[in-house]
Amino acid sequence: VGPDVIDIRKLYGQTGKFTYDPGFMSTASCNSKITFIDGDKGELLYRGYPIEDLAVNCDFLETCYLLLNGELPSPEVKKDFADLVMHHTMVHEQMQFFLRGFRRDAHPMAVLTGLVGAMAAFYHDGLDYSDARIREIAQIRLIAKMPTLVAMSYKYSVGQPFIYPKNDLSYTANFMRMLFATPCEEYVVNEVLVRALDRIFILHADHEQNASTSTVRLAGSSGTNPFAAIAAGVACLWGPAHGGANEACLQMLEDIQKNGGVEKIGEFIAKVKDKDSGVRLMGFGHRVYKNFDPRAKLMRETCYEVLNELGLGDDPLFKLAMTLEKIALEDEYFVSRKLYPNVDFYSGIVQRALGIPTDMFTCVFALARTVGWIAQWEEMITDAEYKIGRPRQLFNGYTTRSVK
Ligand code: ACO
């Protein structure tokens, strides 16, 4: 019984021990075969394949297949899987009316949380999740319809007509078309930009038991509808300490830029070091990586490719980010705490260059992470040791007292 290990008998008169571990710093909540992270080495593997290998040699749908099924697909299987997913990209027409109930200036993550939850009301494939076919159709619907829902939320927010899916395009090209095309002109696919967004999807597809994935597992452990469990994941991802970080990071860069740019980085860093300011360097630090985030290295590369393709090499915000990165990587405060740039430090810059508005960044993340949430939900539901998640607490409120 250490300082954080409480003898439960003293508290509840029961046998056994429990650990007090706020933030799950050292508590595993499940067994998993999906994603492996070695935070000290800066290593990330999906089903045993290094992220660097997948980012260069696979596309997002192959990565989805791998996460869901444990193996990479053969070319024939890949084609069948892509056809199946693309066949399900349309959403129920009635969902438009649900969407139209939101204010147009609502945050897209608020809208997306609602839309994904509402899928439970639109798709009644069955409630017996011990049936693999019922689980599979829900999974395919989620992967297929997420790009359509994200694009619809965006079009609604800017008052433009919805663009319906075009299923002979790739998954990612179709998403970009639904996001950026208008009915008045032909949408031209730029393969360099499609590949960049596809890489963002691959890098964000899964990340073992992060907050949103743990939320999906906990919600799903009650046996709830999978669309409802994934909606819980979307809600959790929204927070600035998690998926909202790339939005927060870009806002931080824009604020520094507005207030004097590169010249003001020193002042900003001083504010970050002052704990009373409550200011953090967004896009830096990670609960698990105490070395460079391997996804950040790949995203940094993509950042250069996209900016070159678009002739934005001199983009002042990008230059500001690179200077900030250099200063922070040499600063004792960040070095001693092992705070390195995470994937979000660069992914916001890439998305901005692609033309994705800042408040849509977390929706793009949710789109990509959907497959990870589903794979983890499937693994949990089919685990023989599967139990409802029910954390204990260390009660420190009043013991029994009376009103009179
Ligand atoms: N800026 C300044 N200081 C930081 C930062 C940061 N971004 N991150 C951590 N620290 C400091 C803390 O103040 C603390 O200092 P102390 O030891 O003097 O008290 C120390 O580093 C450890 O910080 P914790 O908060 O304990 O680290 P934790 O593992 O709980 O937090 C987190 C990880 C939430 C990601 C944090 O680093 C953070 O807030 N980063 C900024 C937000 C961000 O980029 N999130 C994206 C995560 S990646 C993703 O979701 C894809």
Judged on CB neighbours under 10 Å (0-12, 13-18, 19+), 119 is: buried
Mean pLDDT by 10 residues, the chain (404 residues): 55 68 91 95 97 98 98 98 98 96 96 97 89 96 98 96 97 98 92 97 97 97 95 95 87 93 94 93 90 92 94 88 92 94 90 94 97 98 93 84 92
Which of 286, 332, 362, 369 best tests ligand 1's pocket when mutated (most atoms within 8 Å of CB)? 286
For residue 374, what are its two tokens? Answer: 């589903």
Q: Is 344 considered catalytic here?
A: yes
The four Cα atoms 213, 217, 219, 221 give a dihedral, to 10 degrees, of 180
- Nearest atom of ligand 1 to the alpha carbon of 210: 50
pLDDT value of position 393: 86
Supply the pTM of this predicted model.
0.90
Q: Give the 3-state secondary structure of residue 340.
A: coil
List helix spans (H) across 240-381. Answer: 245-258, 265-273, 294-309, 316-330, 332-336, 343-354, 361-381
Measured CA to CA, the distance from residue 404 to residue 402 in angstroms comes to 6
pLDDT value of position 234: 98
342 within ligand 1 shell (Cβ under 6 A): yes
Contacts of 264 (CB under 8 A, 6+ apart): 256
Which of 337, 345, 351 best tests ligand 1's pocket when mutated (most atoms within 8 Å of CB)? 337
Instruction: Tell me how far apart the terminal alpha carbons of the chain are, to the nearest angstrom.
Output: 39
Residue 8 near residue 18, CB atoms below 8 Å: yes
Written as one string, the DSSP assignment of 185-228 is SPPPP-HHHHHHHHHHHHHHS--SS-HHHHHHHHHHTTT--HHH
Ligand 1 atom 37 nearest Cα: 285
Torsion region of 352: left, alpha or beta (phi above 0 gives left; psi -120 to 50 gives alpha): alpha
The amino acid sitting at 349 is: I
pLDDT value of position 150: 98
Q: Which 8-state DSSP code applies to residue 287?
A: S
* H helix count then E strand count, the chain: 18, 5
Q: Which 8-state DSSP code applies to residue 264?
A: G
Q: Mind listing the pLDDT tens digit for each residue in 114-151?
A: 999 999 999 988 888 889 999 999 999 999 999 999 99
Ligand 1 atom 29 nearest Cα: 287
Cα of 286 vs centre of ligand 1, distance in Å, is 6
Query: What are the residues facing 6 on neighbouring strands?
Result: 18
pLDDT value of position 1: 44
Residues in the chain: 404
pLDDT value of position 315: 86
Contacts of 297 (CB under 8 A, 6+ apart): 52
Residue 121 near residue 83, CB atoms below 8 Å: no
Written as one string, the DSSP assignment of 31-79 is --SSEEEETTTTEEEETTEEHHHHHHH--HHHHHHHHHHSSPPPHHHHH
Q: Is 276 considered catalytic here?
A: no
Mutual angle of helices 294-309 and 191-204, in 10-degree steps: 160
